[in-house]
Structure formats: structure tokens, C-alpha cells
Homo-oligomer: A and B are copies of this chain.
Amino acid sequence: MSAAADEDSLRRALAQKQSSIDVQGGAVRQLKSSGASKPDVEAAVKALNALKLEKTSIESQLQAALAGGSSSCNRDAFRQAVVNTLERRLFFIPSFKIYRGVAGLYDYGPPGCSVKSNVLAFWRQHFVLEENMLEVDCPCVTPEVVLKASGHVEKFTDLMVKDEKTGTCYRADHLLKDYCKEKLEKDFSLSAEKAAEMKHILAVLDDLSAEQLGAKIKEYGITAPDTKNPLSDPYPFNLMFQTSIGPSGVSPGYMRPETAQGIFVNFKDLYYYNGNKLPFAAAQIGQAFRNEISPRQGLLRVREFTLAEIEHFVDPQNKSHPKFSDVAKLEFLMFPRDEQVSGQSAKKLQLGEAVSRGTVNNETLGYFIGRVYLFLTRLGIDKDRLRFRQHLANEMAHYAADCWDAEIESSYGWIECVGIADRSAYDLCAHSEKSSVALVASEKFSEPREVEKLAITPIKKELGLAFKGNQKMVTEALEAMEEKVAMEMKADLESKGEVEFHVCTLGKNVTIKKNMVYISKEIKKEHQRVFTPSVIEPSFGIGRIIYCLYEHSFYTRPSKAGDEQLNVFRFQPLVAPIKCTVFPLVQNQQYEEVAKLISKSFTVAGISHKIDITGTSIGKRYARTDELGVPFAITVDSTSSVTVRERDSKDQVRVDVEKVSSVVREVTDGVISWADVLKMYPLHSSGTAEE
């Protein structure tokens, strides 16, 4: 029996038990008031108490069922441990903390900043360099016209309600969600029907209109959480930070909500730069902004964040990918639409099969799904807590051909970290239309092809006689007719001899006669095909990936003395903010000299490291570096050779001073593994004595 069915039957049992209690309670009262015998009353009370005991038992079962497999209490405690460590070690800092901060804005402190730049460097290596992408760097300040074309001015909104007395703003869906969750989790008197209704609301929350949300808020009597005041009806609030460009105040602008638009508007130049050849991809890393109504979920939902976006432009008639075979054999958790709808869970699929069966729309989309999988797992994301979830049909924009999110499981649940969408020709068409610049590609035919083509030939002499100075506008309007309109005109002219025709540029109708225009379909030879490319867009929320990476990398282990739990981040060397620490075993000039020498060689090699000559105990120093996720530590305990310790295994080897920096370099660069190091160098015998 599924957890949901379990919960349902428990709620029904609870309601039944409550009505039995009510009945029995009535019986007791009646017996008492009718002066029944003491044994009779006692028996009835005993029965009532038994019923109440049974109810309590069902309530505990329901509570257990609601908590599910993973207790939310444990998840919260784990998250708190991670976040405390991150904040204490300055991986992040609430921005403008001394001024009591701003919700949804965070700084990356030194180790966080380093992790971020490592992740971005690997992203560049893994995507931009590997695929020869064209990277661009566009401004954050964006004029309104661009974001009108993209639809953001109209549609990039959340529904908001206001406390009618204080004016405090809330996200309407959040209030409804909180209300339903609270009811479901804590109100045991909730009927099974009501519980089902609320679960349905939670499932379709994203799809509710302002009216539907407002109606439910009214129906449930939801009030402002802080004041219990009544709430306004929900209304849309645009999430873009607005500003004004230049001093005049007449040029509205926004801080970009995504980096993609900067690439779309440059399509023509980029296509030319690529030698007028498809497919090609452009990429951009940069800040994006989202003026959240009331940011929650800490580092996951913020008002300013780094996006890394790829726009891969491809011929809509050929979405195969030459390197698809490189990833076709990969197997990982996928969660196709059908499985979601039928209530199944994500399952392991082979990417090649997913594409050949049509689960994934095309090879290029599949290729990027595979590359994203490799990117995330190489960073250190746990592959068993990573799934690719396909968008449901109603979840996708109408123009999208297919869309998959890379979701990573965290203490907040499954979090969308990368979106991989086939957006068809939507964006380029929108900007072509608004800017009147054709954002198209062309394919030259090796041999000319015959195609049936509409031919509209205005007879200028007749048009000139009829329309004088307006002739040019009428001519242009005739030539611009779409095929359907033109063929209707042809038919009308043949049957009636004349037809009314609306000329936009004149703002009125004119009468077109049969002798004024010649319309036909002709067979023409074409030398090329002109079309709007499709775009496949992998879009990475860098901050979210990094936060999930923190959770997946964090663990605790007892100290040597066993008296406390020590925190460790098991960062890959690729990601680790600092690759190696160097410290002298004791404060001693000779050892410090050696430590400085090693430090200098790391600086030259561009390896980030830290030298620690504070003289605290080695054990404490190890604990400090483990908490920063430093993979290797060098202890200088002689002038000829030193001890190198690996973070997770705590294994230690002895390496000559002259060799140590190149060994650490090779193992952090991934040229050799730690296992190789263990084979090549003797284990340090005194082992973990110092810890």
C-alpha cells in the first residue's frame, strides 16, 4: 500500500472513530442524566475511554505516515549543520550584514568565491572549450524593448497579495501552500476528502490563476501571517528590478532576468562569426536578477544570482548530433512525463535508448542531457540524488518541443538546478518581429530545387492612375500579402472583378481591380532555403548547484578523542577552495623555511594553498582544513621529507621535499590518483598519532 493510500485510510478511520466517540459520549451523558445504574455508567465510560485510546493510536499512526521515510526534523537538523559550517567559515555571508542584511542577497566569502570560480572554470572547460562555443558577455542593464519582445515585461510575474492594513506583501501561492501543508501535517480532524482536495491544490499550485488562488484564499479564510489582517485579491507583480537608463527618465530599463536575451539579439553577428554555418552554440556566464516578493529557502531562492547559459542553434529539420555516441551509453535516473503522470518514480534509463524510443525528443537535446550529467557528477554531485525530470505537457511553454530539468535532491527536496529546453524558433522569431531584423539562417542547395512559389505582380501603370501619390503604399501592401490572403484575392478578382483591400500604411480600404495586380503560383528554382533556427538551451543556476554540492559533500566524523563531531567537506580537488595546506609540525625556523619554500612553488604553479604557522596542535589544524574541504595537508616534520595527508581516508605518506609540490600538483590536477600516490610513496608509520 502506498503512503498516500495509507494516509487516506487513516484519516477515514480517524473520522469514523471520532463519530463513534461522539455517539458514545452522547450515550454516557444520557445514561448519567437518566439516572442509570453506576455499573452501567461505568461500563459506558470505559467504552468511551477505549475509543479515545484507539483514536490516539490512529493519530500517532497518521503522524508517522505523514512524516514519511525521511523525517523532516532530521533534514532540518542536517541543513542547519551544513549552513552553520558554511556561514562560520565564510563560504557565504548574508549581504550587508552590519546593516541587518537584505533578504535574498548573499555574498560569497573567500572559500565560497573560490569554489564558485572553480565551478565556472570547469564549466568553461567542459562546455565552451570542448564544444568550441562562442562565449559572449553582455550587460545586465537591458532596455525595455528587448524584454518586451521576449515576453518578460508582460509575463515574468508572481501573484502577490497585500495585508490590507499594513501593506506587507506576500506571494499568494506561498500562503496557500503553507496553509494546506500545515493543515495536512497537523490537523488530524481533516476529513479524507478535504485532505485530498488540499493535496490536489499543492500539485497544481503553479497552474492556478489569480482568480482561482484568490477564491481558495477566501474559502479557507487565510489571513496575513504576521498580523492576521485580511488580504487583498491576488494580482501580478513583475519580478524584474526596474530602473531608468540615462538622465531623461523616459528610457525604462530592467536588470536582466536571464542572460539568454543577450545571445538572441546577437544571433546575426554570431552566425556570421561562425562562417554562416549551423549548428553552433553561444554561451554566457553572468549575473541575473529576480526581485522576489519574499525570498525563502536561503541560498536557493535569491534576488541576484549567477547563470551560465548555452544557446545551441540548430536546423529544425536536423537535430542529430555528431558526438551523441559519446554519451549514448550513459545510464542515470530519468523521470519521463508518463512515469510522473502515472505516479511512478524516476528510473535508470540508458540515454541512447531514451532518445531512440522518443522519450527524449532529439539527439541534440539528449547530448546536452548527457553532458550535464557528466558535468554535475564530476563536480561531486551524488548520482543517486540527481535525476532528469521531463516537463509535463502543461508545464512547458506552448512553443517548446521538449524540456528536461536536472534536479538535485537536497534537504529542501528535489531542486531544479539546470533546465535543458528545446525552445524551437520562438526567441529568434520574437526578436525578428520586434526589431525588423531577420534572425535567420540559410542552407545553400548543392543543386537548385524546384518549388511552387507565390508570385504577386502589381501593375504599376494601372495602380498609378488609380491611386496617384498613394501608389507606392498600395503596391507594397499588395506585395506583402501572405499566400492565403493573396489566393483569396485572386479568386475574388476572377469572380467579381474587384475587391476591397485594407492598406495598413494608409489606414483605409482601397478598391483593387482585376487589371491592377497579377497573382499566380509559379514553379521557381531555389538555390537556398532560408529558415529560423531552433534553439536548445541548457541553463545552469550556478548558486543552486554549488549549494547542493555543499550538502552532498558534507559529513561529520568523531574526533580522535571521540568527544566531538568534526565537520568535513569531501570536495573533489577540482572544486576545493584550497588544494593544500602546509604547516610545520612545531614552531621552528628550519621547518618554517621549508614550509615557505613549498608554498612558493605552489604559488608559481598557480595552486591555491594556505600556510599555517600558528603553532596550534596538528589535530586542530587538520580539523580546521577538513572543514574547508582542503583535500591534502603537508606537515613539515623534517627538512628532507614531509608528510602528506589525504582528507577523507586520513592516509599519510612520506614524500621528499623536492618532489612534494609536483606530487600534490599532479594529484590535484587529476593526472594521478591518491591510490597511485599510496603505491609510489611509503606510508607514514606514526600515522595519525598527531590527530
The residues of A with any CB-CB pair to B shorter than 8 Å are 90, 93, 95-99, 102-103, 105-110, 112-114, 116-117, 124-125, 129-130, 132, 134-143, 145-146, 160, 167-169, 237, 241-248, 251, 253, 255, 262, 265-266, 268-270, 273, 275, 287, 289, 291-294, 303-304, 431, 434-435, 437, 439, 603, 606, 608, 610, 614
Shortest CB-to-CB span from A435 to chain B, Å, is: 4
A322 CA to B489 CA, complexed, in Å: 87
Given contacts A110-B135, A247-B293, contact A265 B169 (CB under 8 A): no
Q: Is the CB of B273 within 8 A of A96?
A: no
Q: Is the CB of A244 within 8 A of B247?
A: no
Q: Is the CB of A109 within 8 A of B273?
A: yes
Total identical chains: 2
Shortest CB-to-CB span from A580 to chain B, Å, is: 13
Q: Which residues of B contact A110 (CB under 8 A)?
A: 134-136, 270, 273
A628 CA to B321 CA, complexed, in Å: 29
Shortest CB-to-CB span from A33 to chain B, Å, is: 59
Q: Which residue of B lies closest to A144 (CB)?
A: B99
Question: A246, A251, A275, A304 — which one has the most chain B CB atoms within 10 A of its CB?
Answer: A246
Q: Is the CB of A243 within 8 A of B242?
A: yes
Q: Is the CB of A102 within 8 A of B242?
A: no
Q: Which residue of B lies closest to A611 (CB)?
A: B132
A112 CA to B4 CA, complexed, in Å: 56
Q: Is the CB of A97 within 8 A of B265?
A: yes
Shortest CB-to-CB span from A616 to chain B, Å, is: 11
A167 CA to B250 CA, complexed, in Å: 10
Q: Which residues of B contact A129 (CB under 8 A)?
A: 603, 606, 608
Q: What 11 additional pairs, Cβ within 8 angstroms, besides A97-B265, A245-B303? A: A97-B269, A98-B435, A99-B435, A105-B141, A107-B137, A113-B135, A116-B137, A141-B303, A241-B244, A244-B291, A247-B293
Given contacts A143-B99, A241-B243, contact A107 B262 (CB under 8 A): yes
Given contacts A136-B113, A262-B95, contact A243 B245 (CB under 8 A): no
Q: Is the CB of A248 within 8 A of B90?
A: no
A103 CA to B253 CA, complexed, in Å: 13
A265 CA to B253 CA, complexed, in Å: 28
A to B CB contacts below 8 Å, 30 in the list:
A93-B136, A93-B269, A95-B139, A96-B146, A96-B265, A98-B268, A99-B145, A99-B265, A99-B435, A102-B245, A102-B251, A102-B253, A107-B137, A109-B270, A110-B270, A113-B136, A125-B606, A140-B140, A140-B255, A141-B241, A141-B303, A168-B248, A169-B247, A169-B248, A241-B243, A242-B244, A246-B291, A246-B292, A246-B294, A255-B255
- Which one, B109, B134, B145, B237, contacts A266 given CB within 8 A? B109
Shortest CB-to-CB span from A421 to chain B, Å, is: 23
Q: Rank and list the top 5 A-B pairs by shortest CB-CB distance, nearest first.
A: A108-B137, A98-B435, A98-B437, A110-B134, A169-B247
